[in-house]
Structure 1
Amino acid sequence: MPEIEQAAAESTVLFEKYEVGRLLGCGAFAKVYHARNTSTGQSVAVKVVSKKKLAATGMASNVKREIAIMSRLHHPNIVKLHEVLATKTKIYFILEFAKGGELFARIAKSRFGEDLARRFFQQLISAVGYCHARGVFHRDLKPENLLLDEQANLKVSDFGLGAVKEQMEVDGMLHTLCGTPAYVAPEILAKKGYDGAKVDVWSCGVILFVLVAGYLPFNDPNLMVMYRKIYKGEYRCPRWFSTELRRFLARLLDTNPEKRITVDEILKEEWFKKGYKEVTFGDLGLEWKSEGDDVKDLNAFDIISFSTGLNLSGLFDSLKEVEEGERFLLKESPEKVVEKVVAAAASVEGIIVRRRKQCGVELEGCDGNFAALVEVYRLSAELVVVEVRRRDGNGGVFRDVWSNKLRPYLCAASSSTTSDREETGAQPVAGES
């Protein structure tokens, strides 16, 4: 296969699926190209990472983490990862294409008014709060990593320095020194443990300042002088900043991480709330399987499709990777099962419930800590298959809510018993001991 770096000079079709075009940008470890899906015509961005460079710099674990992080994030203000492909020498991230380019390019032309800056900042905080609720910290937020789509909506990109809660040490803190100098939080400069959420909020504060001022709050040709300014929190707002914005920035750029404003507090700030539209579960773009308006009757082919590798035991085996959940049988009508799921979920504090047409129910934690789908299929005149799948968020929270609060109510309220399930051969799939 021709080297993808030559794609600008001659057309290259990657994996017989993506026609690669012009170079969009490049960094230390990757180059990004525009490409087109030859089947659908959809524009995508292809991020090409050299395995040789990764091996030489010991950054392979970062790429694996970036893939894992982006695979679990589904938010309208975060660049979507479609798929990951690889050859012996390269890794290819197939990403959502942001036609508007970098936010940085727009700021370089002219500073924004407060209303426009607020709109972008609201979208940024929506994405960052979503990440934090799922235990993900970006750690390199800056205008160069914020893209715009063709409707000028913000898209957070580049999770190459991202971290997850599992990386925290015994003190509950992160310790890796990372970030871009002008946007790095003072506690990172102190070379002590830091809270990933707090450093992201600091970077968001710097970004907000840049949007409205048109220049950095902390800047100096001498890097050590700039670091001293950051550490002491020495910055000056220009005269066109409103009083409300000045007060808000003072909370965002508080050098004491314990006193710095949190995302939850940001959402309550008067300056921030003007015109803010909260992103809800239905807006997250999760790709639920859709079967139309009616309850689906299962046939033999459907049952086979439930299994792994056409092995019928897979019908009741563990759901792999992202789709954690289970399937089981109940003696009940599909409509009654759905009603009972809704009633059970509505009785549990902290769960948002949405009917999904006739055959299912969407469930989401109020703080975004999990998202799941319950679907019901008619197997016979008396039996239904109930399928529950976690598609996002914390697996532990999902298992606690489903196994300890929803499933017991559903099974107790239905005519199915343990012996019924044993007779039919149905077994729990995941999330139960």
Structure 2
Amino acid sequence: MKKKSRNVGKYEVGRTIGEGTFAKVKFARNCETGESVAMKVLAKSTILKHRMVDQIKREISIMKIVRHPNIVRLQEVLAGQTKIFIILEFVHQGKLPENESRKYFQQLIDAVAHCHSKGVYHRDLKPENLLLDAYGNLKVSDFGLSALPLQGDGLLHTTCGTPNYVAPEVLGDQGYDGSAADIWSCGVILFVLMAGYLPFDETNLSSLYRKINDAEFSCPFWFSPKANKLIHMILDPNPKTRIRIDGIRKDPWFKKNYAPLIYREDEEVSLDDVCAVFEDIEDQYVAERSEIKDGGPLLMNAFEMITLSQGLNLSALFDRRQDYVNRQTRFVSRKPAHVIISNVEAVAESMGLKVHTRNYKTRLEGISANRMGQFAVVLEVYEVAPSLFMVDVRKAAGDTLEYHKFYKNFCAKLEEIIWKPKEVMGRSNLLKTMTY
């Protein structure tokens, strides 16, 4: 008996062609056009459980923004009662032949240049995220770790990516240029395409990071002198002297048989459908979270606190002065959770902000200082130990510099409820309290 097909909207869903930790990818067919597509299926419960709402929204939004012939195309986003369906261009996966390395590297650079022109940095470029379509054209995929346009110092501060492909400056804690970091990853990819193995590969992470920081590698004898030279200019451990995309495009080895891609870019991209798909996720998240602890603030264990800290250094969690440079900021209080929330609401209202509170999560909204858009902040209270609460504060909308000024002023007005650990106990005792 023929197995009954399953439909999602106008798509007939077929076999599973890929499976990850948080999603499945299925082959599907558009019943109206007959076109083959890839359908990425995510369970809403999984998104909520792992607090991935912002990450998934960012990935979808970025894929709508960076439309380019060498980037996997997002066609639409659908929402069911329990699942979210991301409809993507169907791409055949395949191993890249070594003798075509230059062609694929040229397409990779074109795609990365387009992303950078939109202020988008991929941050996880590697062969596994490069696919081939039916015509042999390279497609960049997986924007799950991508970063959108920045303000403030213009640097990225999150250490992420795949160790063997990550740039040395990303391993530091001083911030890094997303463009230069992506170019480094492209250089590693080119090396792998031509050599068939990694330039930096150690079983021990500390040894791997040392080799990356020192750019300790050598090209095999079959690399041409021009290819060898270009790879060394890309894998320059100093991001300030590392070759940029303009320089790569002028390089003699790169220019051979290079035909710049001519295509028509979409005039306008709307993210309305992305917002519509996720509009009920936040309320569901709050509702599920409130069931965890009889309506009290969410419990946070010591491991989760370490995850939030910078470089496993917990001092940044408890010393507000060290944390002004980050987009996400936090402070600690020994006052009861309801007292913290009431003080936050009172101070926010005195600053002329609209206040929305639900289950120990508060959103503050106002108009930006330049009156050009909305300014919004979200605060959430976590219980990290008996009678010890952490208030996580993050910018939801508006200018980053304006947010830092707001946070400094806001905390000054909350001085009475903010706990300063140096006045009560040493940091070692604090860690013991956290691991109850």
> Which band: TM-score by shorter chain?
0.5 to 0.7
SS in 2 for 1:159: coil
- Aligned partners of 1:76 and 1:284 also within 8 Å: no
Cα distance change, pair 9–264 in 1 and its aligned pair in 2 (3 A): farther
Query: Secondary structure of the equivalent of 1:101?
Result: coil
Deviation at 1:191, TM superposition (A): 2.6
- Look up the match of 1:416: none
The reply to whether residue 13 of structure 1 matches residue 7 of structure 2 is yes
Corresponding residue number in structure 2 for 1:227:
209
Residue 105 of structure 2 corresponds to 121
1: CA distance, partners of 2:239 / 2:155: 12
CA contact (8 A) 2:25 2:41 kept: yes
Residue-by-residue CA offset, 1:57-104 (whole Å, 9 max, x unaligned): 222111111111111122110111100011232211100001x315xx
Q: What SS does the corresponding residue of 2:12 show, helix, strand or coil?
A: strand
Structure 2 equivalent of residue 270 of structure 1: 252
Instruction: Give the match for residue 154 of structure 1.
Output: 138
Following the alignment from structure 1 to structure 2, what is the Cα–Cα distance between the partners of residues 27 and 287?
34
Describe the shift of the 1:26–1:86 C-alpha distance in structure 2 as closer, same or farther (beyond 3 A): same
Is the CA contact 2:38–2:90 (under 8 Å) kept in the aligned structure 1?
A: yes
1:132 is matched with 116
Report the Cα offset of residue 194 of structure 1.
0.7
- Kindly state the Cα deviation for residue 241 of structure 1 after the two structures are TM-superposed: 0.5
Per the normalisation by structure 2, the TM-score is 0.60
Aligned residues: 272
Structure 1 residues 253 and 51, CA gap change in structure 2 (3 angstroms): same
Distance in 2 (alpha carbons) for counterparts of 1:232 and 1:50: 43
**Is contact 1:74-1:284 (8 Å) kept?**
no
**CA 48–320 in structure 1, closer or farther in 2 if over 3 Å, else same:** closer
Alpha-carbon distance in 2 for matches of 1:231, 1:60: 34
SS at match of 1:136: coil
CA RMSD of aligned residues (A): 2.2
Judged with a 3 Å threshold, the aligned counterparts in structure 2 of structure 1 residues 27 and 182 are, in CA distance, closer, same or farther, namely same
Does the 8 A contact of 1:76 with 1:285 survive in 2?
Answer: no
The structure-2 alpha-carbon separation of the partners of 1:287 and 1:13, relative to structure 1 and needing over 3 Å to count, comes to: farther
Among 127, 150, 153, the residue aligned to 1:171: 153
Q: Is the 8 A contact 2:15 2:27 kept in 1?
A: yes
Aligned-residue identity in percent: 54
Q: Report the CA distance between 1:243 and its aligned residue.
A: 0.5
TM-score, L = length of structure 1: 0.60
Q: Partners in 1 of 2:251 and 2:166 — Cα distance?
A: 23
Does structure 1 retain, via aligned residues, the 8 Å contact 2:39–2:87? yes
C-alpha change, 1:74 and 1:244, in structure 2 (3 Å) is same
Give 2:67's aligned residue. 74
Quick one: which of 86, 89, 94 aligns to 2:87?
94
**Equivalent in 132, 144, 150 of residue 128 of structure 2:** 144
Instruction: Measure, in 2, the Cα distance between the counterparts of 1:125 and 1:49.
Output: 30
The 3 A distance-change label for structure 1 pair 235 and 287 is same
Q: Partner residue of 1:37?
A: 30
- Which of 187, 190, 204 is the equivalent residue of 2:169? 187
SS at 1:165 equivalent = coil
Which residue in the other structure is 2:17 paired with?
24
Is 2:98 aligned against 1:112? yes
Letter in 1 for 2:128: E
- What CA deviation, in whole Å up to 9, does each residue of 1:314-370 have, x standing for no partner? xxxxx9768xxxxxxxxxxxxxxxxxxxxxxxxxxxxxxxxxxxxxxxxxxxxxxxx
Which runs of structure 1 show a deviation greater than 6 angstroms over 4 or more consecutive aligned residues? none
> What code does the residue aligned with 2:121 have?
F
- Is the Cα contact below 8 Å between 2:61 and 2:271 reproduced in 1? no
1:189-204 → structure 2 map (5 Å cutoff): 189-204=171-186
Match of 2:57 in 1: 64
Provide the C-alpha distance between the structure 1 equivalents of 2:270 and 2:221, rounded to a whole number of angstroms.
56
SS at 2:98's partner residue? coil
Tell me if structure 2 keeps the 8 A contact 1:75–1:284.
no
Distance 2:143 2:34 in 1: 27
| Alpha-carbon distance in 1 for matches of 2:21, 2:3 | 22
Distance (whole Å) between structure 1 residues aligned to residue 238 and residue 38 of structure 2: 39
Structure 1 residue 255 and structure 2 residue 237: aligned?
A: yes
User: C-alpha deviations, 1:182-221, integer Å up to 9, x for none?
Assistant: 1111111113201111111010000000000000000012
Call closer, same or farther: CA 1:274–1:39 in 2, change over 3 Å. Answer: same
Say which SS state the counterpart of residue 237 (structure 2) adopts: coil
Specify every segment of 5 or more residues in structure 1 that has no aligned partner in the other structure, as ranges: 1-7, 289-318, 323-433
